[in-house]
Structure 1
């Protein structure tokens, strides 16, 4: 496929990088904090670093007291799956007499230091841009129609809220039984609908023929 649609649980840097670089696929996947970051409550938080201005050309951030946080160093973290995330560390050297220090810095630190994953920030920006496009927004909204009802049916109608077995193979088998039950319900419902439609057509045709015979008589 050219487009992958998934919910925010799959909105990770690893997934964005893999889909974009390895498969050249457009990912319509919001990240976990996307909706929250767009809320007014978050945007009003002056000490939340996502709201701080960034000077791209000179590479520094501006804090709420208009002080510069200059680039300090590069660092990285490797997660349990071996995926490496690169960070840029920024530090403010003018925090000693800042009247906002107690609100801005937590703990006993003397200076404000922040870490930013610029690759992740770029992916976040890109996904916001993609989901704001009307055509892509239609694709994403279709997920709720195609996917969500299937899970709702499993939980609400079949009462399947959790697996009762362990190990991948047993879970695979149990899920297969549940999905077969779901498909049988669909098949039965469609046959019933088809039967009702046929009966309506039959009755309509019968009534029509009776009227024709009456008129001819």
Structure 2
């Protein structure tokens, strides 16, 4: 959902390989219509587009694997063991 409450629809999926050889699947989402949206100026960034600003819709790209890895890291950091290691690091 966008800030204005409209649904972002998946428009395509693509596989990408980074310079280090990491492979990821990226899903691109696009808003149904941003016409008349009061948040459009804050939401849509970038001036390198040939499409006029009035005709553009919000797009968003997400890597599910990256989201999973972030969640795992957050879980490890906030665990009892992770907070204990952080405390030890602060002392030294």
Q: TM-score, normalised by structure 1?
A: 0.36
State the shift of 1:111 in Å.
0.8
Count of residues in Structure 1 that have an aligned counterpart in Structure 2: 85
2:32 is the alignment partner of 1:93: yes
In 1, distance between residues paired with 2:20 and 2:74? Answer: 26
Map of 2:83 onto structure 1: 137
The answer for the alignment partner of 2:11 in structure 1 is: 72
Q: What is the aligned counterpart of 1:103 among 42, 60, 71?
A: 42
Q: What are the Cα deviations for residues 108-136 of structure 1, in whole angstroms up to 9, with x where unaligned?
A: 36111100111111111121112111222
Give unpaired runs (5+ residues) of structure 2.
48-52
Structure 2 residue 27 is matched with structure 1 residue 81: no
1:63 maps to 2
Structure 2: how far apart are the matches of 1:136 and 1:119?
Answer: 22
Alpha-carbon offset, residue 144 of structure 1: 5.1
The alpha carbon displacement at 1:95 in A equals: 0.7
Matches within 5 A, 1:7-46: none
Instruction: Give the unaligned 5+ runs of structure 1.
Output: 1-61, 147-217
Which one has the bigger strand percentage?
2
Q: Deviations over 1:197-216 (max 9, x none)?
A: xxxxxxxxxxxxxxxxxxxx
Mapped to 1, the partners of 2:44 and 2:80 lie a distance apart of 41
1:143 Cα deviation from its structure 2 partner: 4.1
User: Match of 2:10, SS?
Assistant: strand
Distance 2:85 2:44 in 1: 42
Give the number of the structure whose residues are more often helix, by fraction: 1
Could you tell me the TM-score, scaled by structure 2's length? Answer: 0.77
The residue matched to 2:57 in structure 1 has which SS? Answer: coil
Residue 140 of structure 1, CA deviation: 3.7
RMSD (Å) for aligned C-alpha atoms: 1.9
For 2:16 and 2:88, the matched residues in 1 are separated by: 36
